């Protein structure tokens, strides 16, 4: 079998076009949807991510307000700034780029963001809303993965999904979203004794660990859908996922590539959350 590709770039393009349409509709009623992005310090990867977020926003017609601060910014000052943005009606979404400098408590900073503007979906209130099935903001990466499954018309009800990785921003929310669609969900992690025994039972595998070649062809049931969240550098320095793509594509029914899979979808879902925040605030 040679798996069909789920093209994250193409799907993200479609989603950006939808967001651009919703942005136009808001502007027609005099609302300028805006995202505030806070970058503290000079972490090189964060600078690249933030640049993408600003560009993606402008391309879709959203206003991105980038605020850069030195690594020596006091936590209290950052909290004050977030408080001001929470109260500013011209700002609909607030994103604090992680990681923050070591002297700051990231949890405290994220909790300072109003849940109504928490477009990253990292606030405890957002996690709780997902858990109990209430409206909130879903974290962008797992939400993007779900949209990829939807894009192939995959019926999750009654299927067995195995999520590898239990981080708060990917694995756990992914599991909740799949459960919300009535899949049977297994979450695997570093202490899972026999990962292959789990994944071989899966109709859907979501790999979110950060280890190259974690998922190999012998671990995949023929025809399964394989979503690769991982972002690693291989020996040649090229971006690769957690899945041995060349091997697994011969067994799986569907597979996402790296690059061009979950990455662009994550970026697109931030725009979706931002326009959603602006629509909710001005409904
Ligand atoms: P994390 O380090 O917080 O979590 C990794 C998880 O993997 C942990 O739950 C750990 O228990 C589990 N794990 C480690 N070794 C394992 C093993 N041998 N078998 C099974 N599970 C194991 O990471 P994260 O933030 O969730 O990110 C995971 C990966 O996804 C990273 O490569 C990251 O770069 C990538 N990522 C990609 C995107 C994207 O947009 N494409 C977004 C977020 C994260």
Q: How many domains does the chain have?
A: 2
* 68 CA → ligand 1 middle, Å: 27
Residue to substitute in 164, 192, 209, 211 for testing ligand 1 pocket (most ligand atoms within 8 angstroms of CB): 209
* Domain assignment of residue 211, yes or no: yes
Q: Give exposure, 220-259, as e/b (b: 16+ Cβ within 10 Å).
A: bbeebbbbbbbbbeeeeeeebbbbbbebbbebbbbbbbbe
Name which of 205, 85, 181, 187 is nearest 130 in CA terms. Answer: 181
* Domain assignment of residue 243, yes or no: yes
What sign does the CA torsion over 77, 167, 267, 71 have? positive
Q: In this structure, are 174 and 75 located in the same domain?
A: no
Active-site residue, 120 included: yes
How many CA atoms, within 13 angstroms, populate the side-chain half-sphere of residue 283?
7
Active-site residue, 42 included: no
Predicted pLDDT at 152: 98
Residue 200: domain span: 140-263
Q: How confident is the model at residue 66 (pLDDT cuts 50, 70, 90)?
A: very high
Percent of the chain residues past pLDDT 70, beyond the cut: 100
Q: What is this structure's pTM?
A: 0.98
Burial class of residue 261 (count of CB atoms within 10 Å of its CB; 0-12, 13-18, 19+): buried
Average pLDDT, the chain: 98
SS3 69: strand
Q: In this structure, are 147 and 241 located in the same domain?
A: yes
Active-site residue, 53 included: yes
The helices-and-strands tally (H runs, E runs) of the chain is 10, 11
Predicted pLDDT at 158: 98
* Domain assignment of residue 1, yes or no: no
Predicted confidence (pLDDT) per residue in 93-137, tens digit: 999 999 999 999 999 999 999 999 999 999 999 999 999 999 999
**β-pairing verdict for 254-255 and 204-207:** unpaired
* Domain assignment of residue 134, yes or no: no
Distance CA 145, CA 176 (A): 12
Average pLDDT over residues 245-249: 98
Predicted pLDDT at 222: 98
Q: How confident is the model at residue 64 (pLDDT cuts 50, 70, 90)?
A: very high
Instruction: From the CA of 211, give the closest atom in ligand 1.
Output: 32
Contact 241, 230 (CB under 8 A): yes
Contact 169, 229 (CB under 8 A): no
SS3 63: strand
Contact 145, 161 (CB under 8 A): no
* Domain assignment of residue 183, yes or no: yes
Q: Is the pLDDT of residue 1 over 80?
A: no
Residue nearest to atom 2 of ligand 1 (CA): 209
* Domain assignment of residue 276, yes or no: no
């Amino acid at each position: 079998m040679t798996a069909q590709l789920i093209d994250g770039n193409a799907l993200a393009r479609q989603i950006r076009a939808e967001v651009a349409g919703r942005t136009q509709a808001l502007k027609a009623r005099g609302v300028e949807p805006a995202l505030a992005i806070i970058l503290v310090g000079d972490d090189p990867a964060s600078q690249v991510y933030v640049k993408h977020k600003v560009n993606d926003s402008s391309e879709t017609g959203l206003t991105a307000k980038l605020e850069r601060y030195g690594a020596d910014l006091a936590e209290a000052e950052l909290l004050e700034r977030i408080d001001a943005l929470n109260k500013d009606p011209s700002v609909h979404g607030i994103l604090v780029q992680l990681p923050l400098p070591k002297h700051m408590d990231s949890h405290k900073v994220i909790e300072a963001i109003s849940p109504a503007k928490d477009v990253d979906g990292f606030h405890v209130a957002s996690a709780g809303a997902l858990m109990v099935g209430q409206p909130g903001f879903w974290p962008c990466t797992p939400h993007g993965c779900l949209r990829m499954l939807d894009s192939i018309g995959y019926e999750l009800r009654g299927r067995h999904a195995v999520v590898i990785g239990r981080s708060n921003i990917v694995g756990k929310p992914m599991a909740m979203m799949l459960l919300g669609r009535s899949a049977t969900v297994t979450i695997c992690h570093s202490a899972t004794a026999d990962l292959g025994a789990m994944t071989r039972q899966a109709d859907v595998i979501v790999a979110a660990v950060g280890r190259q070649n974690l998922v190999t062809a012998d671990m995949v049931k023929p025809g399964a859908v394989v979503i690769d969240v991982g972002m690693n550098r291989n020996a040649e320095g090229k971006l690769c996922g957690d899945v041995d793509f060349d091997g697994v594509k011969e067994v799986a029914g569907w597979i996402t590539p790296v690059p061009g899979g979950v990455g662009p979808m994550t970026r697109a879902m931030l725009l979706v959350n931002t326009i959603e925040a602006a629509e909710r605030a001005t409904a």
